[in-house]
Structure formats: structure tokens, C-alpha cells
Amino acid sequence: MAFRMQFLSDNAASVHPRVWAAMQAADAADSPYDTDRLSAELDDRFAEVFQREVAVLWVATGTAANCLALSALVPPHGGVVCHREAHIEMDECGAPGFYLAGAKLLLADGDHAKLDPAGIARVLDAIRPDVHQVQPFAISLTQASEYGCCYAPGELARIDMLAGPRGLKLHMDGARFANAVVNIGRPAAEVAGPVDVLSFGFVKNGAMNAEAIVFFDPSLADMVRYRRKRAGHLQSKGRFLAAQILAMLDGDTWLHNAAAANAAAHAIASGAGERLLHPVEANEVFLACTVEERAALRSQGFGFYDWGPDAARFVASWDTRAEHAELLGQAIAGL
Amino acid sequence: MAFRMQFLSDNAASVHPRVWAAMQAADAADSPYDTDRLSAELDDRFAEVFQREVAVLWVATGTAANCLALSALVPPHGGVVCHREAHIEMDECGAPGFYLAGAKLLLADGDHAKLDPAGIARVLDAIRPDVHQVQPFAISLTQASEYGCCYAPGELARIDMLAGPRGLKLHMDGARFANAVVNIGRPAAEVAGPVDVLSFGFVKNGAMNAEAIVFFDPSLADMVRYRRKRAGHLQSKGRFLAAQILAMLDGDTWLHNAAAANAAAHAIASGAGERLLHPVEANEVFLACTVEERAALRSQGFGFYDWGPDAARFVASWDTRAEHAELLGQAIAGL
Amino acid sequence: MAFRMQFLSDNAASVHPRVWAAMQAADAADSPYDTDRLSAELDDRFAEVFQREVAVLWVATGTAANCLALSALVPPHGGVVCHREAHIEMDECGAPGFYLAGAKLLLADGDHAKLDPAGIARVLDAIRPDVHQVQPFAISLTQASEYGCCYAPGELARIDMLAGPRGLKLHMDGARFANAVVNIGRPAAEVAGPVDVLSFGFVKNGAMNAEAIVFFDPSLADMVRYRRKRAGHLQSKGRFLAAQILAMLDGDTWLHNAAAANAAAHAIASGAGERLLHPVEANEVFLACTVEERAALRSQGFGFYDWGPDAARFVASWDTRAEHAELLGQAIAGL
Amino acid sequence: MAFRMQFLSDNAASVHPRVWAAMQAADAADSPYDTDRLSAELDDRFAEVFQREVAVLWVATGTAANCLALSALVPPHGGVVCHREAHIEMDECGAPGFYLAGAKLLLADGDHAKLDPAGIARVLDAIRPDVHQVQPFAISLTQASEYGCCYAPGELARIDMLAGPRGLKLHMDGARFANAVVNIGRPAAEVAGPVDVLSFGFVKNGAMNAEAIVFFDPSLADMVRYRRKRAGHLQSKGRFLAAQILAMLDGDTWLHNAAAANAAAHAIASGAGERLLHPVEANEVFLACTVEERAALRSQGFGFYDWGPDAARFVASWDTRAEHAELLGQAIAGL
């Protein structure tokens, strides 16, 4: 059944016209494999975004971005602390185990799918520092989280205060990093905070199939260049991925798109009241919702996922039509 | 230095207009992640190509196609016989070791980078059938080979006669499968011969970033669906990859493009005479060529790779201009 | 501080005289690498124990036994259901991730560190049958469990009724299998129940460094022969491992030793009353115990591990002196 | 067929009486898992042998020693240069691929199964320094080599001069290190030369199942402690492995045993003349030998391996009886 108004996921949203234009412009380029001019621009362009030196690699998917990023931080015998509901744990079919050669995810709890120092400490403190247990090497945060919630700069700083003394590196899964930047309203550097490597997502925000891995320690990128190739993620026509990313950065398209998606989410949630299960801090809305209520919404033409037996998830995209979001908001208010 | 007439590689060739059109048409589609309508068409479309039931998965690169294909045939403790100069051995940065969890490539010799029964048998016969040595599980052939040479159907049959009784599966790296089909002039099914899984390349032949893994035993595809996701190769907007492949199949674009590239290679080689190091059976030309001769060609505006100290490689693409190929052919004849 | 009476672990217990004698007898043997006469006897000897055909491989440690066993049941992209406190999850430093090439442990709850159908079903039912989540291929049980508790034959049958229809294989970590057999008082075949592969432990029960992997489907053993070698676990003087195991089977030494250890555990627990945290069904006793009480016991010469802030673990071995166990039982009763 | 006088392999030789005595003495020890007193002595004892600070870990097999050693030097995306006939390439069933998560062996040629700078350079110089090819991280040497030949200190120094500037680490497979030390007649430190990690073999030289991994950079040992556990190679009764090694070091047993084996090899080779295929610099003798000649020797009661169609391998052990070696030498001379 096709719904007239889709809020299933931002995953499958359409591609932004600027991205299309940039890809077509890239076609003409004289571009040898892996040394094309567009890919070479990425470091400088992201250095502007983050106001510091970075090294940047493109890959086609968020799973590859996350796992290649982590492969620079965690040895095969190590562990990564992440939230129990993190994408790397729940939705990547064991990709971290594959990319990290059997390294282990160490699962922490925390509200709204966000890690907090207490939850992290509980995991870390339970690990005996002996060879019988996997020792942690990194913490992976998701900004915005699986429930569309953001880490404020102060929250990131407190996690860093825990991680630093223990020698733990920080990774950020930023599949919806743009939505977090818009929501927090601070420069990207503050929204990334103290992380060592960021998976900077574009696919959910208007790109076709390009994500950026941003290394704040540029020396880490070199090994990942090899690991990217080894994982079959080095595309010979990589100029098309670079073009997508550059187009998203041009004119702050990434921020405009995320702002539109966030605004749509707020419109959806506007009349949700007590139903709201998590604060709306990005482009996702989670609501308590009975089976009958969900059927009622669907009968009005709204497509969305059930989220367990008593809830529903609504995701807005950069291309969600504002009037659809408003209609959905009204329908929810009227349940 | 940019050359006016490029023969460096087919890797970075432009994208065919039909492919662009199909991708843009795909943008409008209502396409949930991994269950889009275009991807669902692949099995049937390739069944027509091969005149038998197949299961087909897209991935973005040839390395991923090869390694995911092999992961369905070879366990971690197994080995794969391949040519000493095969792409999986020489140019994938150890990707088979990664995807196959440490399985081993068993290197055979053969003229023109092609395996032959004698070369394969030498490798197999040297393996003691005890637990101290890695045992073979599959043979990987490249059609056309790294030197642009093709396996005739009879050659494939003879290799199969060796493989079958030993229980070895067959994989074909078909990064230039289209060029082989055109060269051999037989149906695709005969050019693939008895292989179990085929990496069917499109990127070198007019696509942007889509290759097909064709499973002639459809049951093998199911595990690879998981391994593809686990490797970060399941794209959420996979409809764009499916669209590329379908466009290449439409109206036999894949064959027309390959025919153009092969013709250009023949034009290049037309006056090469004794210089020719390998028969031209696809879109690549390898020539004996001194340093001075190579400089002379470059000074005339031709770009190409050195191939060791005394040779050069020229690769034609689907979009190579016929007059450039002819000019190059004349320049070579005039050396 | 060395304690006069040790109840720390059965891990480091002494080697049984019969085992010593058998090892020394093995020294004389004319024994080529991996085809020695003693190793060749294992299949038949275990066939007697289990009253059915089996294939048996020795390895030096329980971790290797568990992980090699699982490697025959679970592909790299698969998952293994086990208890949250299972040894493979808690005490093997990520060995399953290493041996299974990144496969995932799927953690279930259950009283006394035992799995039960409800706990397993909760894990299985939460897994979406799509490529984004790791799918289960096996269940691993520990007999006796980490808390020294046993699965009755009926409990195993009920788990099998859950596993069979879902195509899941069963592995049993039998590091303390002998203790379970003695406790349950049924033939070994019933205590192993419907499992496909059993890690049959001897090290904690009087051997030096030999465990047996028992394949109830003998065809599974062949791949593990290669994987054992590949993991560096094929010892060239494997006759000494086979000798240990055969000595333990001779005259039911394994049962006599386990009976002694179990009896000592019962003596320890005899006056524990309400302190007892888990039923004593093998050779381990877990007691609620304050810091002061533990200090009091230690001051009387008893060595043991704290088990969290409010509990203590006491483990009896085959060589625990009965009077030490009785003294400890009295000391506990007198707390 | 059992032969009266065995020269098949040193792998399955008997255990030295001192080793037996030490193991039995260890049984009494109060020895918690992995922190036993004997294991703790290893660092100091090997520091005496090598006259410098080292960290030492025991494992049960040479394959585990080699692969764990290499795992400290080579990342999953890296390569190891070794001889085409090295044990890690030929006889470990792909263990390096398993332990190094898919890293690649880069095969070099050299006389007598020894690497030399020219052969190494040929391999290194052929590797393009781009992401498409596996880059080298280490060189692995075998001392004495698979053909029983030794690297003189000067040869090691020349290899180090090649390795150092390229940032390559050095590993030595010393399965027959004792034989090399005896042959070269220089202190162990010179025979190990500039290597970073040494697999110091004892099993072929009188131990039962204990080898030492000697880290000349002690900081490397820490990660290997975890990897050893993760590989199932941490034995709970590790005191028995430590005891074996300490017994072999006591009173220079390792040197006396190796001297006996080397002397026996020289006796075997004494009348071999032109038949000798490799210089006898350890305890192995390789001879050109027809089928008929081999049959003749076997009919006289000598057991040994064919080495291809036209050669035979004879291996002496620490416990080879001198008169047997002399008889064999005479029989060979009389062929």
C-alpha cells in the first residue's frame, strides 16, 4: 500500500537538485581513479566547516563510514562503548564485528538513546582489567541519537572528561549531524565537540550515496585509505561522491535541508502533547499511539513505521512538504 | 599534465546518457530501503540475459562484487585458485583476505593472465591434502583477463572438468565481461560458461557506480544479502544502482558500449605489429615500447600508463572517440 | 597472601596421578604428528561414553574448545544466543568474535545463568528477520552453568523444541560437564541432550591441559581439524593431550573426580541456609556474605573470590581435601 | 610400517627428563590462573639469555607463537615479507591470515629457504605505494631455515639495514633457534640479531608443548597477552608450560640438546658428498636420493620423509641415538 504522505524514513528521500547538478558537472572532469580534483577539495572544505585541519574520506554508506572510522580507533582485541540502541549495534548486521575483526560492542544505557557519563561509567567499571575481558578503546556517540535527540556541547565535554583519562577515543555517528547542528544552533565544531572521528552524514539529507568520514587527527586517515580500498569502498569514479558532498556544503545546503526537516518534525509534533516519547531535537518524532490510532492515521494517507506495539515513528526529510507535516500534526492532535 | 587524448583507463570513463536518465527517473520513485521496485526487477532482467534463473545483487565496486561473490563459495579456512596477476591478488589491497576472513589466494600461472588446466593443476597437485596446508574451495577466472584476453567457451569447459571432480566452485571476475561477450560473439551464458557466481561489471562500461553479482545458484544470494549489509554495501537509495544496471541492459547498451571500446582497441592495435604483447580480445592494448617511444606518443597528446620498463598499456572506453583511437593507431604505426 | 585452604577455582587444581602416568607412558610412543595412536582412540572411547558415533578432537583450553565448536555451527555473519553471564561472553576476551570472524553473541537472561525457552524466545523474537540485524544460527548452553546449576534432560528438550523448528544448532560448554553428569545421575548422553557439539572439559577435573570437542555430527569435525591447525591448536605432540583424556575416561576417573568435587561443595554449603544464592548442583557455592564475614573466613585460612560487593564464590576441586570443605562448611554455618 | 631408527621429524621427539621433573615439581605449586610464580620468572630468565630486557609469553605451539608475534607487528591491512617456503606460508594452514585478520604474506625467494636483501628488495620494490596494493609492515625470517640453514649475524644486519629505513619490523621464527645458536657459536643475542620479536622454540628440542614468544620491545607484549587469551592460548595451568621452558634453560639444556641433534645431523651427512642439497647448519639433512636408494635405506630400518620425487629429508632430534645417526651416515655413504 502506497501512502500519499510518507514519513517512513529520511533514508530514501529524493536527491537535492544541487546535488544532481554537481554530479553532472563532475562527469566532464578529467579524473583519474582516486586522485580526482573534487575529492582533493574535501579536506579544505571541511576545514572551513570545522575551523581546523581535518582529513576527509568519502564512502557510500553510513555503515561503512562508522565502521571504517572505528577501525582507526579500535584494535581487533578491543571494545567500543555504545548505546544499546545505537545503529552500529542494532542496524548494521554486525558490521563492526566484520570491520574491527571481532572487536566487541560494549552496551550502555541512557535516556533517549543518548549515552551519559553514569551509563558509560557503569559499563567501564564492570570490566575487570585483566586479559579475560575485552578492554575498551573508544566510545561511539550518535548525534542526533536514534531517537532524534542531541548532545549539548556540555554533555559532550562531560563524556570527554570521562574518556580522556582512560585513554578512550571518541567516535560520533553523525548520520543526522546536520539536524543536530541546526537544532543546537552552534557551530559544527561545537556540535562535534571533542570527537576524534566523525561520520558526517549526507544521504539522509539530500545526497544520493555519499557520506564523509572526518578525521580530526588527520594522521588517522592514512590507514583508513587502505582499509577503505580493502573493503571495496574506493570507487573509481569517486568524483561523483565528492561532488555530492561539495554540493551539500555549497551555500550551506546541508543546513537549509536539515532546517526544513527539523521544522517539519516540529510541525508534526506540535499537537502531540503527552504522546511525545522523546523531545524533538532533530527530524524524528516518536509518539505513543495505539493500534487503532495508527490505523486511523494511515487511513488518512500517512505512511510511517510502528515502533513496537504501542508507538509510532515519524521521520521528516529535507523534501517533506510542509503542508504534509502540518496535516499530520493536525491529525495527531485530533486523535 | 593533462593529455588531450586519454587511454589511461576505462575506470574513470564518463557516464552514459541512458544511465543518467534512468537515475533521474529513479529519483521520483516511492522506494523504501532495499525493497525498491527497480532492484526487484534485476533477477528477471538477468534471467533474460542468461536464459536461466539467477539471483542478482548490486554493489558499488568490482572489489566488493568479487569478494562478496567469493564469500559465498569459500570458508575462512579455505583457498581460492587465481592467476598470479588477477585483480583480486594484485589490485584489491587484500580485500579477499578481509572478506573471506583470512582465506588464501593460491596463485597459478598462465599466458595472458588466463588460467589454464595445466597451471591450475600444478597449484592443486602441490597442495598436500592434510591440515597443514590450505585446501582449495574455488577457482576465480577473469573474463576478459587483466591483459584483455578472453576464455573461449571450450577453455571454460576444460577448467570446469578439472574443478568439478574436485568439488571446486567457479567464480568469474567480469569487470570487462561485456567486452568479452562482444569479442567472443556468443550468448552471455556461453561466455560465463559453467561459473557459479559472476561479478558482472558495468562501471568500466558506462555506469557510474553499480556492478551486479549474478548467482547462478540463486540460493547463494541469500547469505550474501547479509554479508553485503555487513560490509556497508547496502545503499539505502539502492534504486539508483539498480537504475544504472537496468539502463545498461536496456536496448543492449552494455553490448553497444563494449563494442565501441573493443573497436577502438582494435584501431589502436591495427599498426602495432610485433609490438603487440597480448592478443587484443577486449578493450586493452599492451605494447612493447621504449622510454623514448612512450615520450614521443605523449608529446603527441596521448595519455596512457607505463607497464613496467619496456611496455605501455592503452585502454579504450565506451566513450573513446574513434578518431582518437585511429590517431593513436597511426602514431603507434609510425614509431 | 597464601591461604591454607584454597577454594578460589578448580582451574588451577593439581593433575591427577593417573593422568601423569598416562602422559609418561605416551612419551615412549612412536607417534608421528597428528596421527598418533592415542588420538586415534578418542572417537571410539567417547562413542562408548555417549553410546553413539561421535568424532572427537582435543585442544588445550576450554576457550579454544568452545570457539572451535561454534565455528562449525555459525558463519561470520551469524549470531549465537547465549546467557548474559556465559563464559564465552564474559571470560574469553572476545574469542568468539575472533574465531567466528565477527559473528555476534546474542545475550539472553535466565535464572542461575541458565537459559530457558522464555528468555531465548525473547531474544529471538526481537530480531527482525531482515538484513539489518544479525540472524541467529546457534544456541550455546553451559552445563553446569556459571553458577554451578544444571539443565535437567527435560529442560534441554524444551530448548531443543524451540531451536529445532528455527534451524538453530546447539552447542554445550561443558567445562564442568562431569560435575553435571554426577549431579544429574543420568547417562552422559542424557546430560548432553540434543546438542550438536559439546566442549567436554577435563582441565578443571584433573587433567593438565586437554579438553575434548565432541561432535555428535561427525561430519562437522573435518572442517574443525583445519580450523584447529589454523588457530595454532594442533600440537605436534598431541599424544600427550590424548593420553590425558583417555586417562580421565579410564576407570571413570572423570566421574569419581567430579563426585569428590561435588561432595565437597555440598559440605561447604551444608550450613549456608539462606545465604545460598544458587542451588548447589555441581562444585560451586555462591553465598551472600558481608565484607566482614568474608574477612572472618579469610582470617581462618580460607581462600576464595569475592563475587561482587555482597557475595563470595567457593569452588571445590577434585583434589579438595574433604576435611577442608567440612571446616569451611562449619565456618560458614558459624558466621 | 614402523622403522627401527626414526629420522622423520624432531616434532614428535620425546620429552627430556629435566622437563618431566620440572613439570611434576610445578604441580604442587599454589598457582592461580595466569599469575603463577613460574610464568613470572620468564622475563628475567630470558633477559639473562639475551643480555637485555625482554618480555616473554608462553604458548603451546610454534604456529601460535609465530602468529601472535606477528599480530603485534602487522595490522589487518598490512603485509609480511617471508620466504616462499617459510613455515608460516607452507605449513600453518593459513594461520597468519586468521591471526592477522586477513593480512597478506608477501613471498620472496632466496637460497636454502633463507631471505636475502636482494630477494626482499625485489618483493618490496614491486609493490606500488598506493592503496590498491598491500603495503609491507614486517619481515619474517626463520632461524634456522626450513632447510636447516642459518643466518650469520652479518646477514641479519644487512637485512636490518634494508628493513629499518623502510620502517619494517622484524620477526624471527626460531622453531630451531637453539640449533642455530649452537651452529653459529655466538651468543643468543647475536643469533637473534636485530629482530623485534622471536618465536623461541622448545618443542622440537625436548619440551612437551611450550614455546616462548620473546619481545625485545617489552611494550609489545601487553597487547599480545590479550590476543593470546582471545585465541584460546592462555592455559589456566600455565605453570606447566613455564616449567618446561625454565627446565630447558636450566643448565643450558636447550644448548646441549641442540648440540646433540646437530652432531647427529653432521654424522648423517658425513658421507653424503655431492648428494647434499643444503649445507648442514642445524639438525636437518636434505639429500638427492632416487626412489631405489630411498627404498634401500628404508629396508635397513631408517624412517624419513621423501622430499619431492628426487630427494629425502632426515631430521635428527635431541634424543637421536648417536649410533643410529652413524649407521645412517654409513648407509648413505654406501648407496
Mean pLDDT score across all residues of chain A:
96
Q: In percent, how much of chain A has pLDDT > 70?
A: 98
Residue C12's pLDDT is 82
Query: Nearest CB to D236: which of C11, C92, C93?
Result: C11
Among D33, D35, D77, most A C-beta atoms within 10 A, so best to mutate, is: D77
B97 and chain D in contact, CB less than 8 A: yes
Mean pLDDT score across all residues of chain D:
96
**Within a 13 Å sphere around the CA of D103, how many CA atoms are in the beta-carbon half?**
29
Domain boundary among A237, A252, A267: A252
Residue A184 and residue A283 in one domain:
no
D95 and chain C in contact, CB less than 8 A: yes
> C-alpha grid cell for residue B257?
558500449
Residue D178 and residue D210 in one domain:
yes
Which residue has better confidence, C30 or A132? A132
Q: Tell me the DSSP string of B224-263.
A: HHHHHHHTT---TTTHHHHHHHHHHHGGGHHHHHHHHHHH
Is residue C283 predicted with pLDDT exceeding 70?
yes
User: Would you call A229 and D76 a contact, using CB atoms and an 8 Å cutoff?
Assistant: no
Is residue B220 predicted with pLDDT exceeding 90?
yes
- Strand, coil or helix: what is D30? coil
**Which DSSP state fits C134?**
P
| Confidence band for D35, pLDDT divided at 50, 70 and 90 | confident
Query: Nearest CB to D94: which of B91, B94, B104?
Result: B104
Domain boundary among A235, A252, A269: A252
Q: What phi and psi values does residue D133 have, to the nearest 5 degrees?
A: -125, 145
C335 and chain B in contact, CB less than 8 A: no
User: What's the average model confidence in pLDDT over C186-200?
Assistant: 98
Min Cα distance D62 → chain C (Å) is 7
Query: Nearest CB to C101: which of B34, B76, B132?
Result: B76
User: What's the average model confidence in pLDDT over B59-84?
Assistant: 98
- Strand, coil or helix: what is B77? coil
Is residue A1 predicted with pLDDT exceeding 80?
no
Residue B69 and residue B168 in one domain:
yes
Residue D2's pLDDT is 66
Residue B33's pLDDT is 65
C228 and chain B in contact, CB less than 8 A: yes
Beta pairing, strands B211-215 & B55-59: antiparallel
Residue D12's pLDDT is 82
Residue C119 and residue C161 in one domain:
yes
Find the closest chain C residue to D11 by CA distance: C236
Min Cα distance C290 → chain D (Å) is 24
Are D234 and C64 in contact by the 8 Å Cβ rule? The answer is no
Our measurement of the distance from residue A277's CA atom to the centroid of its chain's CA atoms, rounded to an integer in Å, reads 20
Helix, strand and coil in chain C, % to nearest 5? 45, 15, 40
Residue B233's pLDDT is 98
- Alpha-carbon dihedral angle through residues D323, D326, D327, D332, given to the nearest 10 degrees: 160
Domain boundary among C225, C252, C279: C252
Q: For residues B255 and A112, give the distance between their C-alpha atoms in angstroms, rounded to a whole number.
A: 53
Is residue C277 predicted with pLDDT exceeding 60?
yes
Find the closest chain C residue to B35 by CA distance: C130
Residue A192's pLDDT is 98
Q: In percent, how much of chain C has pLDDT > 70?
A: 98
Residue C28's pLDDT is 72
Residue C77 and residue C162 in one domain:
yes
**Which DSSP state fits A192?**
H
User: Would you call A93 and B230 a contact, using CB atoms and an 8 Å cutoff?
Assistant: yes
Residue A278 and residue A326 in one domain:
yes
Chain A residues 98-117 with CB within 8 Å of chain D: 101-102
> C-alpha grid cell for residue B140?
576465480
Angle of CA points B46, B52, B56, to nearest 5°: 35
Chain C residues 128-147 with CB within 8 Å of chain B: 130-132, 135
Our measurement of the distance from residue A125's CA atom to the centroid of its chain's CA atoms, rounded to an integer in Å, reads 28
| Confidence band for D31, pLDDT divided at 50, 70 and 90 | low
Is residue C223 predicted with pLDDT exceeding 90?
yes
Residue B185 and residue B320 in one domain:
no
Size of interface A-C (CB pairs under 8 A): 57
Residue C265 and residue C244 in one domain:
no
Residue A69 and residue A129 in one domain:
yes
Q: For residues B230 and C242, give the distance between their C-alpha atoms in angstroms, rounded to a whole number.
A: 40
Mean pLDDT score across all residues of chain C:
96
Instruction: Name the helix (H) or strand (E) containing A96.
Output: helix A95-99
Is residue C126 predicted with pLDDT exceeding 70?
yes
Q: For residues D134 and D79, give the distance between their C-alpha atoms in angstroms, rounded to a whole number.
A: 6
**Within a 13 Å sphere around the CA of B187, how many CA atoms are in the beta-carbon half?**
10
User: What's the average model confidence in pLDDT over B234-257?
Assistant: 97
D82 and chain B in contact, CB less than 8 A: no
Q: In percent, how much of chain D has pLDDT > 90?
A: 94
Q: Which candidate, C173, C163, C22, C185, places its Cα nearest to that of C89?
A: C173
B121-140, pLDDT tens digit by residue?
A: 999 999 999 999 999 999 99
| Confidence band for B175, pLDDT divided at 50, 70 and 90 | very high
Chain D adjacent subunits, 3+ CB pairs under 8 A: A, B, C
- Alpha-carbon dihedral angle through residues B305, B307, B310, B316, given to the nearest 10 degrees: -60
**Number of structural domains chain D divides into:** 2
> C-alpha grid cell for residue D236?
589456566
**Domain harbouring B317, CATH code:** 3.90.1150.10
Helix, strand and coil in chain D, % to nearest 5? 45, 15, 40
| Confidence band for C29, pLDDT divided at 50, 70 and 90 | low
Residue A28's pLDDT is 73
User: Would you call B236 and A2 a contact, using CB atoms and an 8 Å cutoff?
Assistant: no
Q: Domain limits at C261?
A: 5-12+255-333
Q: Residue B30: its chain A contacts at CB < 8 A? A: 2, 6
Residue C229 and residue C309 in one domain:
no
User: What's the average model confidence in pLDDT over D78-83?
Assistant: 98
Residue A247 and residue A260 in one domain:
no
The answer for residues whose C-beta is within 8 angstroms of residue B258's C-beta and 6 or more apart is B176, B178, B179, B181, B182, B205, B283, B318
Are C148 and C268 in contact by the 8 Å Cβ rule? The answer is no
Q: Residue D135: its chain A contacts at CB < 8 A? A: 226
Helix, strand and coil in chain B, % to nearest 5? 45, 15, 40
Is residue C182 predicted with pLDDT exceeding 80?
yes
Residue C31's pLDDT is 66
Residue B32's pLDDT is 65
Is residue B1 predicted with pLDDT exceeding 60?
no
Q: Residue A102: its chain D contacts at CB < 8 A? A: 101, 230
Is residue B34 predicted with pLDDT exceeding 70?
no
Is residue B99 predicted with pLDDT exceeding 70?
yes
Find the closest chain D residue to C15 by CA distance: D27
| Confidence band for A4, pLDDT divided at 50, 70 and 90 | confident
Residue A29's pLDDT is 59
Is residue B2 predicted with pLDDT exceeding 70?
no
Residue D136 and residue D282 in one domain:
no
Is residue A232 predicted with pLDDT exceeding 80?
yes
User: Would you call B131 and C223 a contact, using CB atoms and an 8 Å cutoff?
Assistant: no
**Domain harbouring A238, CATH code:** 3.40.640.10
